Structure 1
Amino acid sequence: MRWTLKPKPEPQQIEQLAKALKVDGLVAQLLVQRGITTYEEAKKFFRPELTDLHDPFLMKDMDLAVARIEKAIAAGENILIYGDYDVDGTTSVALVSSYLLTYYPNVATYIPDRYDEGYGVSYKGIDFAHDNGFSLIIALDCGIKAIDKVDYAKEKGIDFIICDHHRPGSQLPNAIAILDAKRDDCSYPYDELCGCGVGFKLIQALGSRRGETIDDLVYYLDLVATAIGADIVPITGENRILAFYGLKVINEQPRIGFKAIINQIKKKELTITDVVFVIAPRINAAGRMKHGQHAVNLLVAEHLDAAEKFAKEIEQFNFDRKNLDQEITAEALAQITENGEEKRFTSVVFKDTWHKGVIGIVASRLIETFYRPTLVFTKSGDRLAASARSVKGFDVYNALQECADCIEQFGGHKYAAGLTLLPEQYLPFKEKFEKVVTETIAPHLLTPEILVDATIPLNDITPKLLRIIQQFAPFGPGNMTPVFMAEGLCDTGYAKGVGEDGKHLKCRVIQNSNVSSSTVERSINAIGFGLGDKLPAVQNGRNFSAVFSIEENEWNGNVSLQLKLKDIKE
């Protein structure tokens, strides 16, 4: 691991903010590092307000989208809410459809089949709309590149409104309205919304025409917060407000579908981390293992007994997904080592029987072992389909663009993408992708980096500091949990490996008095998940440095401070 200490801001800046907020220098430093330099900015950060959400009509084409929906409602048209099969897509569909159904009945939902139709807008979905009398499709979390499909729909008398957050290509589809803040010609003040966030802006605009205020729409923010966490978009600006209030809804007044999941996992208060690692994988499992419509059914359920039935079903999907994911990861790792590809700059693996629903997860797992841009391919009809994942700092989307002559179609983000190609293109693509990455990636990006906010003496780690840090939540890209470094640490003699095969490291540390700011020797518990192999480095009184976050540990009703170790070095 590379430890990179963030540059310390100007002392004067830290001092001014510390004085304005009446906090110590460390807290002020953490805030300045997050771009917060004034009392007013800090107030917005610690006390997000729904009234600070932007006017939805600042988004290009919002007026056109609202006018077309109002026209459809006035004429009694059938509206189809169409979304991708992942968390962002299914929450978007649940949000927009359930909102419209509160005052207009002619609304139905459509999630494409991952295996039969693939990602995004499909011809089959348009045919479904045509055969069932739908004249307007609202596409969520997809559609920005569906040029041919939107033209095909137009030929059948079907209009499209596209709500997307992916990068547009050089040409835009011929839709009635395209809501995407990443459009070059869109001046909306915040361009990091997820698909469900764009869906929320649409209902905010529709609601404003019906005399509703933002307070009338808070109910829907649990879906938005879930999508923000699952889609790994920055939790800054507008996303921070939406995630903050969405988490409150999840914990205080969850919709029936969330209540059914929470009842199963038996957890009291959920953080954004729980949403990412507990709720999102379950919602995702429906589209991975069966069909995304199962997730929508759960999210729009109005009766607990029905929701619990859907949740139980989804729990089984998630269990099956975990088993498959472990099995395929093992096979993919074996393929890399058997082919002698450990030293390459990329991991590109393929097996025609791998389950398409888990290849994205497997790509992420491979990066945990071989830290480099990764693609996992499987067979999909007469094509090969892949999920791509990247390492921090490297734009895999741009790399795929350089390989466009070997690809049928692709789409996605800087760190995650999907693509399809013909079987005979696989080997040429694999070599071209390796060449492109080798020539463009900075070598240091192939070593995982830990960004460290500040160096801290153990004596400065107090319950008060943790209470303030907890108010920085919700955490995520753009506002990660603060990470600290401490030097001159020494185990008090209790270090041991814990968990299966001693996989994790548990110890209790003190700091040399010449490093610490006090002569009082303070000890604190520490846990390092997956760091069991570091045990020899902390035994027998050895000195070491550590990077960690600070957390609470609850055991037998006792709550104490604990260091959550990320890495240690002798």
Structure 2
Amino acid sequence: MRWTLKPKPETHKIQHLMDVLHVDEIVATLLLQRGIETFEDAKNFFRPSIEHIHNPFLMKDMDVAVARIANAIANGENILVYGDYDVDGTTSVALVSSYLKTIYPNIATYIPDRYEEGYGVSFQGIDYASDNDISLIITLDCGIKAVDKVAYATEKGIDIIICDHHRPGSELPKAVAVLDPKRDDCTYPYDELCGCGVGFKLIQALASKRGQTIADLFPYLDLVATAIAADIVPLTGENRTLAYFGLQVINSAPRAGIKAIIHQLKKQELTITDVVFIIAPRINAAGRMSHGLHAVELLTETNFEVAKQYAADIEEFNSERRSLDQEITQEAFQQIEKLGEQERFTTVVYNEHWHKGVIGIVASRLIETYYRPTLVFTKSGDKLAASARSIKGFDVYDALEQCKEHLIQFGGHKYAAGLTLEEKNYQAFKDAFEEVVKNTIDKKLLTPEILVDKEITLQEITPKFYRIIKQFAPFGPQNMSPIFMSTQLQDTGWAKCVGSDEAHIKLTAVQRKSPRIDGIGFNLGDKLSKIKNKKPFDAVYSIDENTWNGETKLQLRLRDIR
């Protein structure tokens, strides 16, 4: 790992925050690193308010979308709520469809089949709408590049309202309304919403026309928080406010489906990290292993007993997903080593039998080992489909853009994308992608970086300090859990490897005359020799709590040792 210490903010700004907030220099520094410079900024950060949620009509085309939906309801039209098969898409469909059903009965839902139709709006989905006398489709978390699909729907007399958060292409689809804060001509104050966030803005706008307030929409925020966590969007601004209140709903009054997932795990208070690693993979597993509509059924079910059965089914999908993911990852490792491709600038692997539902997860696993922009391909009908994942600081979407002559289609974000191509173009694309990355990537990005907020001493880690750090949550991109560095530490002699394969390290550290503090380092078992026999070492870590035998103590969550 590269350890990069963040620059120290200006001294006068640190002093100002120390004075107005009555905090120490460490806390003032952490706040400034997160863009918090005034008392008002800090108040908004530590005490998010529902008042911080923007007026939805500031979004381009929102008035048109609301008018078209009102018209559809007035005329008794059938409305189809259409979303992608991942967490963001299925939560969006659950959110918008369940809200619309509170005011109007003629609502249907549609999730494309990952294998038959692929990502986004499909011709098959539009045919379904046409066959079922549906004259309005609301797309969620997809549609911003569906120029040809929207034209096809228009030919069939079907209007489309697009709600998306992906980057538009050079041409916008000719839909009735296009809600996307990333549109160049959209002046909405916050453009990092996830798809479900855009869906929430739509129901907020619809609700306001009916005299409802944000308070009436609180029961939907568990879905929004789940999507924000799963889609790895920045936890700043409006996302942070929505996630903050959504977590409260998850922990106090979740919908039956989310309650059923939590119930089988017997987990108490959930953090945003728990949502990422516990709730999201289970919702995702439905679309990966079977069909995304299972997730929508779970998330819209109001009977807890029925929801428990749906959650049990989804748990089975998740178990199957885990074993497939491990199996395919091993096969990918073997392929890379057999071809001798460990030294390339990219990782690109293909097997026609790999399960399309887990190739994105496998791509992430390969990055953990090789730390390169990564593509995992499989056969999809008569084409090849791939999931792309990137490393910090490198825009894989831009790299794909430079190879687009080899592709049928692609879409996504800076760090995650999907694409399809003809099998005959696979090798040419693989070579072109390697060449683009080789020529454009800053070579230092190929070594994982850990950004350190501040160097502190162990003496400064107190229960009061930790209580303040906890209030920085919910954590996520652009507001990560603070990472600290301490130097010249020593183990007290108790360090050992733990875990079934001894992959982890457990130690008790001191620094000069500081109190002892325990530390746990996952997957750092190979560092044991560096700290044995009281050899001095430096460490980077976050701080958390560990409860053992009824006693709760602070501990270092070690990220790296040297």
TM-score (norm 1): 0.98
Shift of 1:51: 1.1
Shift of 1:501: 1.8
Shift of 1:306: 0.9
The one-letter code sitting in structure 2 at the alignment partner of 1:533 is D
Q: Secondary structure at the match of 1:506?
A: strand
Structure-to-structure mapping, 1:226-241, within 5 angstroms: 226-241=226-241
The one-letter code sitting in structure 2 at the alignment partner of 1:558 is E
Deviations 1:429-474 (A, max 9, x none): 0000000000000000000000000000000001111100000000
Give 2:190's aligned residue.
190
Tell me the distance in 2 between the aligned counterparts of 1:301 and 1:75: 28
Structure-to-structure mapping, 1:488-507, within 5 angstroms: 488-507=488-507
Structure-to-structure mapping, 1:111-122, within 5 angstroms: 111-122=111-122
Conserved? CA contact 1:88–1:231, under 8 Å = yes
Give 2:130's aligned residue.
130
Q: Secondary structure at the match of 1:420?
A: strand
Tell me the distance in 2 between the aligned counterparts of 1:186 and 1:12: 37
Fraction of identical pairs, as percent: 69
Deviations 1:299-329 (A, max 9, x none): 0001011101100000000000000000000
Say yes or no: does 1:65 pair with 2:65. Answer: yes
Give 1:321's aligned residue.
321
Shift of 1:217: 0.5
Structure-to-structure mapping, 1:10-25, within 5 angstroms: 10-25=10-25
Conserved? CA contact 1:388–1:396, under 8 Å = yes
The one-letter code sitting in structure 2 at the alignment partner of 1:372 is R
Give 1:265's aligned residue.
265
Conserved? CA contact 2:458–2:514, under 8 Å = no
Conserved? CA contact 2:453–2:482, under 8 Å = yes
TM-score (norm 2): 1.00
Give 1:517's aligned residue.
none
Q: Secondary structure at the match of 2:203?
A: helix
Give 2:514's aligned residue.
521
2:532 to 539, 545, 550: 539
Deviations 1:269-323 (A, max 9, x none): 0000000000000000000000000000000001011101100000000000000
Conserved? CA contact 1:497–1:503, under 8 Å = yes
Conserved? CA contact 2:546–2:554, under 8 Å = yes
Give 1:516's aligned residue.
none
Shift of 1:11: 1.1
The one-letter code sitting in structure 1 at the alignment partner of 2:428 is P
Q: Secondary structure at the match of 2:481?
A: coil
Give 1:209's aligned residue.
209
Shift of 1:521: 3.5
Conserved? CA contact 1:60–1:187, under 8 Å = yes
Conserved? CA contact 1:130–1:156, under 8 Å = yes
Tell me the distance in 1 between the aligned counterparts of 2:302 and 2:555: 41
Q: Secondary structure at the match of 1:500?
A: coil
Give 2:380's aligned residue.
380
Conserved? CA contact 2:289–2:321, under 8 Å = yes
The one-letter code sitting in structure 2 at the alignment partner of 1:522 is P
Conserved? CA contact 1:51–1:214, under 8 Å = no
Tell me the distance in 2 between the aligned counterparts of 1:551 and 1:311: 30
Q: Secondary structure at the match of 1:326?
A: helix
Q: Secondary structure at the match of 2:501?
A: helix
Tell me the distance in 1 between the aligned counterparts of 2:384 and 2:244: 40
Structure-to-structure mapping, 1:26-37, within 5 angstroms: 26-37=26-37
Give 1:564's aligned residue.
557
Q: Secondary structure at the match of 1:485?
A: strand
Conserved? CA contact 1:79–1:136, under 8 Å = yes
Shift of 1:500: 1.4
The alignment yields a C-alpha RMSD, in angstroms, of 0.5
Deviations 1:126-148 (A, max 9, x none): 00000001000000000000001
Q: Secondary structure at the match of 2:534?
A: coil
Deviations 1:381-433 (A, max 9, x none): 00000000000000000000000111110000000000000000000000000
The one-letter code sitting in structure 2 at the alignment partner of 1:526 is G
Shift of 1:372: 0.5
Shift of 1:336: 0.5
Tell me the distance in 2 between the aligned counterparts of 1:127 and 1:407: 25
Gaps spanning 5+ residues in structure 2: where?
none
Runs of 4+ in 1 over 2 A off after TM superposition: none
Tell me the distance in 2 between the aligned counterparts of 1:351 and 1:501: 30
The one-letter code sitting in structure 2 at the alignment partner of 1:41 is D
The one-letter code sitting in structure 1 at the alignment partner of 2:549 is N
Deviations 1:105-142 (A, max 9, x none): 00010000000000000000000000001000000000
Tell me the distance in 2 between the aligned counterparts of 1:304 and 1:29: 46
Conserved? CA contact 1:81–1:109, under 8 Å = yes
Say yes or no: does 1:305 pair with 2:342. Answer: no
